[in-house]
Structures are given as structure tokens and as C-alpha cells.
Structure 1
């Protein structure tokens, strides 16, 4: 996958993935993440994750609702984590291939455009 700006990725739509394609290797993913401030590789380069500290519990729930709407529209669904009532995280990977695809970076770019009420 060639490195793309978040602006370019956010204009794309996630494509259905039923497997049969190779995941993006961790080195390529790390290069792409240079365009995604705050996102990092996890699980041996098979997932990306970003963490935020929000103002309060309801700010986290509101952010997750916005994430859910964007994810559902693209048919690509993240793991959403809430810990300690204000610590929110989003983790992305393409389940069908057990690693990262362009879809993960598309959704990350769209999530970064969402409003979030930070601490």
C-alpha cells in the first residue's frame, strides 16, 4: 500500500474483505502511521490503536456513538474500549485477514475527523 494522506484516505470508502488477500506488513503499516498522529501498531504489527482521555463518561459514550455510525456506514467495525470512565481507545484490524488492510487506515482517518470532548 502506498503511503497516503489522512485527507485522501478519509474520502475513500472501506471495501468488503472476505479474506484471500495478504495483510499489510508491519513496516508498510509503520510508514502509513506517520500520516496518522497518535495511532500506533499493536499485536506484533497486526493492529493499530489510538487512545484519548475524554472529559467524562458521557463524552466517551458520545464519541463511541459517532465511531459506530462511521464504522457502520463503511461496514468496517473497530474494537472500542472504555476504561476508568474517561480513557477511550479504538483498535482496528481486518478480521478476515488477521491483520491490517487499507480499510483500517481509511477508518482511522475518518475517526480522527470526529468531534471528541477531551479532558
Structure 2
């Protein structure tokens, strides 16, 4: 089953974040996304024709996040929306972050 078809599972903390190697392997399944240098954040910049379209996209991402119970950092303005995922409870990346990235890709 692909990442997009999976549901986020609640992270209780106490788990180790994904290793750099594991995060890089999962990155291949989420086109357009990037890891930060420490592999603790997963991000993507989305470009749009105007503010209203960027805002509508941010709203759809927010609605998805509420359904899945896993929330990104969103930043949007005229012509763009930046989306960043990480799992606060473990201070790094979890499989849920990649599941959400795949689902966000399906919205774009």
C-alpha cells in the first residue's frame, strides 16, 4: 500500500525519529519534498498564480491535517504556500510525516 493510502497512527512519543538513511529512502516516495540538513524536517514549496489560490490550498492542507490528526507548519502569502512536517513528540521525522507529504501532493 502506498503512503497516500495509509492513515497516520498516533505517535505516543518514546519512539526514535527516523534515521537519515530511513528518511532519505522514504523521500523517494514523496516527489518535490526536501529534507533539512539534519533530516529532522520535511518541507515543500508550492507555487500558485495568486494569493487566493495559495490560501485555498493552505485551507485544504489544514482540513487534511485535522482529519489525519497530524499538523504541519504552514506559511503562505501571494503566490506560494510552504508546508513543513515533523513530529514534535520525537523531535524529528516519523512515518506519519511522509504519509502526510504524499497526501498533500495529492491535493496539489
Structure-2-length-normalised TM-score: 0.94
1:96 aligns with 2:83: no
2:60 is matched with which residue? 66
1:45-90, CA deviations, whole angstroms, 9 ceiling, x for partnerless residues? 101000111110000110011101111001000001124x112110
RMSD: 1.3
TM-superposed CA distance for 1:18, in Å, is 2.3
TM-superposed CA distance for 1:43, in Å, is 5.3
Aligned partner (choices 4, 12, 21) of residue 27 of structure 1: 21
Structure-1-length-normalised TM-score: 0.85
Aligned residues: 108
Aligned partner (choices 79, 82, 85) of residue 86 of structure 1: 79
Distance 1:81 1:15 in 2: 25
Secondary structure at 1:113 match in 2? helix
1:109 aligns with 2:96: no
Consecutive unaligned residues of structure 1, counting only runs of 5 or more, are: 1-6
1:52 is matched with which residue? 46
